[in-house]
Amino acid sequence: MRERTPVAYIPDMATPLVLLDVDGVLNPFSRPHRGYRRHRCTPEGITYRLWLNAAHGPLLLDLAEGAGAELAWASFWKGAANEWIAPRVGLPEMPFVPIPRFPGLEEGHSLGAWKARHVAPWTKGRPFVWFEDEPDATVRIAAEKDIGPHLLVAVDSETGLTGDHLDRAADWLAALTR
């Protein structure tokens, strides 16, 4: 009888998550500084022009590897981030939070709170760091019950992800495992 190669990927539920937003985090809204290039992405035929930095992927991979954490998308790009964003910033294909379409401000939701409401249960009690530019995400995540230890790193959407944000995340993750 031939030996079977195990192929199933079973994530360790205690492994911390590093959650990553795209717009306002990897893609700053103002014309950014050195290292960024303009990209044209067309998911489902809709054109978006983004600033992306190819140095971000390796830095995020270092962060995750150093902390024994798992990277995942927490963005309205959802799975499309794997096709359109990951290869342009040097990230592999990653799991993503299946955030439903934003119902709109008129329904009484805010964008950040909507995201946080769907991010929280997806983490299933695992510790997580979340790089996010929507300020309301912080308020909403603080109100969530049954979530693990977490750090929301508030990113300024005009300038996007910086080394300071990554350092804060690394320090917090290191303290978690001590």
Residues that bind Mg ion (CB under 5 A): 21, 23-24, 133
Q: Which two tokens stand for residue 177?
A: 């495992």
Residue at shortest CB range from Mg ion: 24
Minimum CB distance to Mg ion, residue 24 (Å) = 4
Minimum CB distance to Mg ion, residue 157 (Å) = 6
Of 111 and 176, which CB lies nearer to Mg ion in the complex structure? 111
Minimum CB distance to Mg ion, residue 14 (Å) = 28
Of 55 and 111, which CB lies nearer to Mg ion in the complex structure? 111
Q: Are 149 and 127 in contact (CB under 8 A)?
A: yes
Minimum CB distance to Mg ion, residue 43 (Å) = 16
Of 17 and 137, which CB lies nearer to Mg ion in the complex structure? 137
Q: Which two tokens stand for residue 84?
A: 């359109």
Of 2 and 49, which CB lies nearer to Mg ion in the complex structure? 49
